[in-house]
Amino acid sequence: MDSFAHTKVAILGAGRGGRALLDLLHQIPSIEIVGIADRDPDAPGLQRAREFRIPVTSDAPTLIGAQGVSLIMDVTGDPAMETYLRAHKPPATDILSGSASRLLWELVQHESKLEAELLQAEKLAGIGSFAAGIAHDINNPLQLIMGLAENLAEERNLASVHEQAKDILEAVKRTSAICRDLTRYSRRASPHEDVLVSVNGKLDEALKIARYASSFHDVEMIKDYEPGAAVKGNPDELLHVFVNLITNAVHAMEQVGGTLTLQTQTLDDQVHIRISDTGYGIAQDKIPEIFEPFFTTKAPGKGTGLGLYNVKTIVNKMQGMITVDSTIDQGATFTVTFPRALSAEQGCPS
């Protein structure tokens, strides 16, 4: 623990409001959540608290009387709770309830909506730079289809007609796969609850998408995956994290080529994902800045400066960590660490 005063918070009510508060407060290092109470053992906030390893209880009075709580946040919406709190709270404890806590809940909602909008905006801005890559990848099979169709018009041999028809089908499948990948990426992150996600699968998916955004010309690929690495989170958001990190890595090597290394590893209770390049690197004193919104060293149209900011937001939300190790002109390694999810626990990773 550091020497700063921690704010110790207890949350009453674990419905949607309680859960949103938990998600937000959990990310703030100076706040310690000492517990959350709800009468309903299946309340969504209680489930989230168990994931965060925060004590849960059905007994609000005990939590209210707990030692050292500096702030009680009451989001039960229950007038009886307000009355009880006023009569029973320890003298040194502050209370946030009634309309004040409703206001806070609205702010939290608003903030998470803004966050989602920003993410989507950045994604769409990025897709603009995919255009050339997509055009190229769709044009190749189209040219092939055209050639085959021209042949077919003259073809008399039935066996060859069949052969070429099959080739046309394959080429069409390739173009529709491209469209499918892109629609999947461009859609809004689906709001479903966190699920088990296979990290290696997501990295491969991200690689396909990043290929449209940047030229992999002269980029050698090394994959060093640990089988079965899985984390819990939103698959669309995790995809977004990886697309950003891979695109940045490839951008850093664009002029000269180099090696892109994707590595996954599980250690104890954590999954480590490393994305390394041998590109131009980042000066030590710039490292804290690259996560700031709108910090970019790229030409307009090429970078928004929102990539790493959004990456960090998502990683924090998933209770992860991101670190950077870099030497100028030698490359950069971004390491993302998440709590490991056990694949056996809840079925197949998606």
Ligand X SMILES: Nc1ncnc2c1ncn2[C@@H]1O[C@H](COP(=O)(O)OP(=O)(O)O)[C@@H](O)[C@H]1O
Decide which of Mg ion, ligand X, none touches 69; Cβ closer than 5 to 8 Å per partner kind: none
Pairing assessment for the beta strands 258-267 and 219-224 based on DSSP bridges: parallel
Return the residue of 186, 263, 265, 296 that touches ligand X, per CB under 6 A: 296
Would you count residue 258 as binding ligand X (CB under 6 A)? Answer: no
Which residue's Cβ lies closest to Mg ion?
Answer: 307
307 touches Mg ion by CB under 5 A: yes
**Cα dist from 238 to 149, 190, 243, 305, whole Å:** 41, 12, 9, 19
Residue nearest ligand X (C-beta atom): 307
Contact 224, 262 (CB under 8 A): yes
Q: Considering CB distances under 5 to 8 angstroms, the limit depending on partner class, which of Mg ion, ligand X, none binds residue 249?
A: ligand X
Q: Contact between 126 and Mg ion (CB under 5 A)?
A: no
53 HSE (CA, 13 A, CB side) = 2
CA–CA separation, 199 and 341 (whole Å): 11
Q: Which is nearer to ligand X, 227 or 301 (CB)?
A: 301
- Among 97, 244, 278, 313, which residue sits at the site for ligand X (rule: CB under 6 A)? 244
Q: Which is nearer to ligand X, 74 or 277 (CB)?
A: 277
CB nearer Mg ion, residue 8 or residue 202: 202
119 binds ligand X (CB under 6 A): no
Binding mask 309-348 for ligand X (x = CB under 6 A): x----------------------x----------------
Distance CA 37, CA 318 (A): 23
Closer of 230 and 308 to ligand X (Cβ): 308
Q: In the complex with ligand X, which residue's Cβ is closer, 7 or 186?
A: 186
Secondary structure E strands in the chain: 7-12, 31-37, 56-57, 71-74, 94-96, 195-198, 219-224, 230-233, 258-267, 270-277, 321-327, 331-339
Chosen from Mg ion, ligand X, none, partner binding at 55 (C-beta under 5 to 8 Å by type): none
- Please choose, out of 30-38, 144-152, 172-180, 246-254, the segment that lies near Mg ion by the rule CB under 5 A: 246-254
Total interface residues for ligand X by CB under 6 A: 21
77: left (phi over 0), alpha (psi -120 to 50) or beta: left
Which amino acid appears at position 290 of this protein?
I
Dihedral over Cα of 143, 149, 153, 155: its sign:
positive
Q: Which residue has the tokens 């207890």?
A: 10
**Residue 165 contacts residue 159 (beta carbons within 8 Å):** no
Residue 266 has φ and ψ, to the nearest 5°, of: -110, 135
Q: Where on the chain is the footprint of ligand X (CB under 6 A)?
A: 244, 248-249, 252, 277, 279-282, 290, 295-298, 303-305, 307-309, 332
Q: Where on the chain is the footprint of Mg ion (CB under 5 A)?
A: 248, 307
